[in-house]
Structure 1
Amino acid sequence: MANNKSAKKRIKINKRNRLNNRFYKSSVRTLNKIFLKNLETYKISKNLDDKVKVQKILNSIYSLLDKGTKKNVFHKNTAARKKSKLANSLKTI
């Protein structure tokens, strides 16, 4: 256990940052799964509504990745790689 005031503060700050990082990382993973599931649906149906839905999910993933990069949750190259992979998966249809 921490013995001085600054060490106690660092523990609180580390906990806060860990929860923020976990939020961004888990949200990106969850949206990624939803995106891929809806992408498969769009591949089968070729419906315009499905494409709009997939595009909205992609935009929200981009937003979370960019915000996470700004807050140093993700390295900029990691975010770029993830965004590129998702864009290519939509593009190949």
Structure 2
Amino acid sequence: MARVGRLYGSRATRIAAPAAVAMAAMSGLEQPADGQAEEPMMVAMFAVAAAKKKLSQRRRDRQHERNRQYNQQWKSQVRTYTRRFLEAMAKYDKVPTPENQAVMKQELTNVYQVCDKCTVKGVLHKNTAARRKARVGRLYGSRVTRS
């Protein structure tokens, strides 16, 4: 499909016109004597059909999709265990019993484990995992030390 249109008054002309004047000045060309710019010319833009993908590119695409799904599964685990910890923490806030504290501690351990696994597998950057672990650790510490 081809698009042909005048760029007069468009953003492209407002940007391109000063650049064209500067290029003409640097190249030694002069503007018309009357000071008027030339009539804007027709510009044709053609949409080119995408070339066929090479075999290696198709293989890379399959690898990217496989890795994306793999990473998504592990990130989902991090979110799930974090949510479970937050739910256990809310339950402990309502009823601060040793049983609820033990459940909260177990969920904290699960969050730590899954964050560490994601770091080893390259799903999460080590600083991201450390930040997430520190966040839940602070929440746990603030609950346990005050009781």
Output the TM-score relative to the length of structure 2.
Answer: 0.58
Cα distance, 1:89–1:22 mapped onto 2, change above 3 Å: same
- Percent identity between the aligned chains? 31
Counterpart code for 1:61 = V
Aligned to 1:10: 60
What residue ranges of structure 2 are gaps of 5+ in the alignment? 1-50
Aligned match of 2:110 in 50, 55, 60? 60
Counterpart code for 2:128 = T
8 A Cα contact 1:66 1:79, kept in partner: yes
Query: Is structure 2 residue 141 aligned with structure 1 residue 88?
Result: no
8 A Cα contact 1:2 1:8, kept in partner: no
Q: Which is higher, the Rg of structure 1 or of structure 2?
A: 2
RMSD between aligned residues = 1.6
SS in 2 for 1:92: helix
Cα distance, 1:92–1:14 mapped onto 2, change above 3 Å: same
Moved more, 82-91 or 42-51: 42-51
Deviation by residue 1:22-80 (Cα, 9 ceiling, x = unmatched):
11112211221221111011122111121111111111111111111112211111111
Aligned match of 1:20 in 70, 74, 77? 70
User: Following the alignment from structure 1 to structure 2, what is the Cα–Cα distance between the partners of residues 8 and 28?
Assistant: 31
User: Following the alignment from structure 2 to structure 1, what is the Cα–Cα distance between the partners of residues 101 and 73?
Assistant: 27
Query: Is structure 2 residue 110 aligned with structure 1 residue 76?
Result: no
| Count of residues paired in the alignment | 93
Cα distance, 1:34–1:2 mapped onto 2, change above 3 Å: farther
Output the TM-score relative to the length of structure 1.
Answer: 0.88
8 A Cα contact 2:78 2:115, kept in partner: yes
Query: Is structure 2 residue 116 aligned with structure 1 residue 35?
Result: no
What residue ranges of structure 1 are gaps of 5+ in the alignment? none
Q: Higher helix fraction: Structure 1 or Structure 2?
A: 1
RCO higher in structure (CA 8 A, sep ≥6): 1
Q: Higher strand fraction: Structure 1 or Structure 2?
A: 2
